[in-house]
Amino acid sequence: MKVNIYYGGRGLIEDPTLYVINKIQDVLKEIRVTVNRYNLYEQKNGISMLPNTFKDADAVILAVSMEWYGVGGLMQTFLDSCWLYADKQKLKDIYMFPIVVATTNGERRALEYLTGAWELLGGRVCEGICTYVSNRIEFETNQVYASILEKKAEEIYRIVSHKVPMLPNSINACHVEIPSAGIELTPQESEQLSVYVADDSFVKKQKEDVEMLSQMYKSILGKKSQSDTDEDLPKKFDKAFNSKEANFKAVFNIVLSDVNKTIVLDIDNGKLVSSYSAASNADVTVTANKDVVGKIITGKTTFQGAFMSGLVTAKGRLDLMRMFDRVFAF
């Protein structure tokens, strides 16, 4: 049986969390459990590779010191790495016991954060230790507290050795899947990627390559003829125009802020005249950059959605602004 301990504190001598995990570790070793401990403050440059240590683990202990608010940046970085690089199939069989020792208030919030994160990762969450310590010396010399910690260690052994089944939670029962950004990787590919990420020189070189490619493509795109890009925009409004929904008269000005051009859409009871111009008597004036307008005409977003998210600013008659998405069916 193998248990891994991941300590997310700063490693200070006065940290009572160290006393708790030392006590748990000693008891587990006495009953012949293999315990591996990873101090995250010593692994700052290699945290992304730590999910690879789950391979042979039957259980993990996530221990954090709460000194002012939350679980701390080291544990957060570790959990992020688990989400990105850990083998999710392996995680389903791993029991997690949280340990939160606080010298300020809010330890329950930190405990809920750890358990919620592990559930999202797909692992098994068990009852851990959550306590507040106002006086470290009194806490560490209290025999009643020591006995509680020893019993908790024995409980960890019993749960893991007997592979105690867990009641389902809402995430597993409802088959809720949280999509992750990026491409799907096999566990082997994720492991290799975590090694690359931990290599500062590799990451630096990758950033330089991406920047070089970005500049190269910007240069290539900048050489495109304006007739292939800007001049096509009014025609796309013509194609998307829904004359059945346009039984009114209105003039829309669409100001392309980054190319200093204005598209004028003159609607007259089912007829549309679109062009680059500068109509001064517009009923609605819309301001956006060309990329945002491109997303609207390709159907990636709606005018209303872009307006609500702040990508588009508009002024004029509100009733006509609401008609935009009905008149132009992208």
> What's the token pair of residue 116?
């919620």
Going from N- to C-terminal start, the domains of the chain cover 2-191, 230-327
User: Tokens 């069916």 appear where?
Assistant: 329
Q: What is the pLDDT of residue 172?
A: 62
Dihedral of the alpha carbons of 182, 183, 186, 189, in degrees to the nearest 10: -70
Q: Taking the complete model, does pTM exceed 0.85, yes or no?
A: no
Residues 90 and 125: their CA atoms lie apart, in Å, by 14
Nearest by Cα to 58 from 91, 26, 83? 91
Complete DSSP assignment for 72-119: -HHHHHHHHHHHHHS-HHHHTT-EEEEEEEESSS-HHHHHHHHHHHHH
Tens of pLDDT along the chain (330 residues) come to 999 999 999 999 999 999 999 999 999 999 999 999 999 999 888 899 999 999 889 999 999 999 998 899 999 999 999 999 999 889 999 999 999 999 999 999 999 999 999 999 999 999 999 999 999 999 999 999 999 999 999 999 999 999 999 888 776 665 445 555 445 556 566 656 655 555 566 667 777 778 878 777 766 665 544 444 556 788 888 888 988 888 888 898 998 888 888 899 989 888 999 888 876 688 889 899 988 888 888 888 888 888 888 888 888 887 787 788 888 888
Residue with tokens 């009641």: 167
The secondary structure of 6-20 as a DSSP string is: EE-S---TT-HHHHH
CB 265 within 8 A of CB 240: no
For the domain spanning 230-327, the CATH number is 3.30.1050.10
Amino acid letter for position 268? D
Output helix, strand, coil percentages for the chain, rounded to the nearest 5.
Answer: 50, 20, 30
In this structure, whether the domain defined by 2-191 belongs to CATH 3.40.50.360 is answered with yes
**Lookup result for tokens 């125009």:** 241
